[in-house]
Amino acid sequence: MKNRYVRLLLGLLLLTSVLSGCEKLKNVEKIATRPAPVVVQNGETAEDSVQDGEELAYASDSIVIETEPERVPVKVKGIYVSAYVAGTPSMVDNLIAELDRTEINTLVIDLKDDFGRIVCEMDCAPVQEIGAVKIYIQDMEMLMEKLREHHIYTIARIPAFRDSWLGEARPDWCVKKADGSLFKDRDGNVWVNPYKREAWDYLVEIGVQAKKLGFQEVQFDYVRFCTEKGMKDAVFDEADVQGRSRTDIILEFMEYTYGKLKDEGLFVSADVFGAIINSGVDADSVGQIYGEMAKYLDYISPMIYPSHYADGNYGIDHPDMHPYDTIRAALAESRMELYFAGLDGGHIATVRPWLQDFTASWLANYIPYGGPEVRAQIQAVYDSGYDEWLLWDAACTYDWSGLMTPEEAAREEQRIEQSRALLPETTYAPETTAPASAAAAAVIVEGEEGITDPVEELGPPPETGSTLPQRNQ
């Protein structure tokens, strides 16, 4: 009898367990962990990401992840700083003190100097193989950390196609003459052949390293062909050229580097001749088309120093003596060309011009440049509808008296925004009577061929014997 009760009790327990198990199975979907959602990159569908023979287990929660890094723009008000200055801690401290009390928020720092040397240690195989490092900045990491602490935006300046070091290390990448010897400009500098794709990849790699060092933007300088008369002796192999013009290849270079470095999360900018704005002749010589280059840049920086326009340009007797009028006229041309370049609705770079903070004492007709002249140029930028600017002085001896405090600058920006809001939308479209004609946009004749780079070739006319500060002094 006792055994019968035991068996009955065990049976009841078994039945209870079965019923309980069925209820758990019924609710398993509620408590089970679902497979991780299928992550789909670069716009692929979930089905696209499944290999042949595989089974798509669960894809209803698939998401798309943007692979392009976030880039946060800064309204730049900056100055150029040579590698020598950036590598001297006391000079950096003095600069930071000035930046803290003025509206300047950006430093454009040489990462590759005008002679092709990388100015700090760089863990980069191509740079190491070429032996391009010449240390000016001993501790780049500490420098960048100090600048971040003071909320200073940093731009790595990278001269592209003037590179004497590559003439030593990779002459096969450089411009040559018919006899096979390297072409050199009148200062003895070698130029890289823009048709050499290997050189593009080298420059891109330096840009990638700039990002790793902490720079937020890469600025290419010398994105052009040498314009000296001696270039008539240069020979370009048709296997490299493949029927492309100078402007074709510069645009291809810009498109290529922009795509690569944008994907790294960098902003990309470039310095261009002021003379190329609305000037087909100069554009063909240099290889730069202003409106077209702007399609492959985040920022375009025309070098529009008043001292580098010849007497009579833009209808101005002596442009260097009229900084406001000269900048206004040059930027009116800029506005016009970029307006038409953007009619297709595509991307157009923000204009961020280089302004003059040096005295052009080699000119017959000039004025000393100080605070009022710098401020006049800045005001001309704002009055032309642009918001960003850079100051150039090769010796890095800037006149701070023309700059506002951060608080004053904030109030001025608010005032400008309010005044622009009252203007009709067509205000910044090309005017029917622009202040300057395209024909007047010629640069002062100083070089053999009648074109002088406003930033890159600050040398005087050979016959004057005067001396100008060169880059990186």
DSSP 394-434: TT----GGGPPPHHHHHHHHHHHHHHHHTS-GGGGSPPSS-
Lowest pLDDT segment from 307-311, 367-371, 429-433, 456-460: 456-460
pLDDT at 279: 84
Read off the pLDDT band of 357 (50, 70, 90): very high
pLDDT digits (tens, 9 = 90+) for 344-353: 999 999 999 9
With tokens 């794709």, the residue in question is 197
- Work out the pLDDT band at 453, boundaries 50, 70, 90: very low
Nearest to 359 by CA among 374, 340, 337, 344: 374
Higher-confidence residue of 440 and 359: namely 359
Q: Do residues 275 and 333 touch, judged by C-beta distance below 8 A?
A: no
- The predicted model gives 199-228 an average pLDDT of 97
Percent of the chain with pLDDT over 70: 75
Asked whether residue 430 carries a pLDDT value surpassing 60, the answer given is no
Q: What is the pLDDT of residue 111?
A: 98
In angstroms, the CA 42 to CA 373 distance is 50
Closest alpha carbon to 301 in 267, 324, 266: 267
Q: Is the pLDDT of residue 420 over 80?
A: yes
* Mean pLDDT computed over 423-449: 41
For 288-305, what is the mean pLDDT? 97
Q: Which one has a higher pLDDT value, 345 or 28?
A: 345
**pLDDT value of position 278:** 85
Domain boundaries, the chain: 35-67, 77-440
Contact 327, 381 (CB under 8 A): yes
The pLDDT of 345-372, averaged and rounded, is: 97
Model confidence at 63: pLDDT above 90: no
Q: Which of 103-112, 283-292, 416-425 has the lowest mean pLDDT?
A: 416-425
In three-state secondary structure terms, 111 is: coil
pLDDT tops 80 at residue 176: yes
Is 319:326 a contact under the CB 8 Å cutoff? yes
SS (H, E, C) 264-312: CCCEEEEEEEHHHCCCHHHHHHHCCCHHHHHHHCCEEEEECCHHHECCC
Residue 34: the pLDDT is 33
Name the superfamily (CATH) of residues 77-440: Glycosidases (3.20.20.80)
Q: In this model, does residue 228 exceed pLDDT 70?
A: yes
The pLDDT value given to residue 425: 62
Reading the block at residue 371, the tokens are 């605070």
Is 381's pLDDT higher than 50? yes
pLDDT, residue 67, reads 61
**Mean pLDDT in residue range 294-318:** 96
**Contact criterion met (CB below 8 Å) for 296 and 258:** yes
- Tell me the three state secondary structure of residue 361: coil
DSSP per residue, 335-350: HHHHHHHTTTS---PE
Query: Could you tell me how many residues make up the chain?
Result: 473
For the segment 81-87, the average pLDDT, to the nearest whole number, is 97
Q: Predicted confidence band at 70 (pLDDT cuts at 50, 70, 90)?
A: confident
More confident residue, 411 or 22: 411
Three-state DSSP class for 12?
helix
Rounded CA-CA distance 62/442 in Å is 57
The predicted model gives 241-256 an average pLDDT of: 97
Residue 437: is its pLDDT beyond 80? no
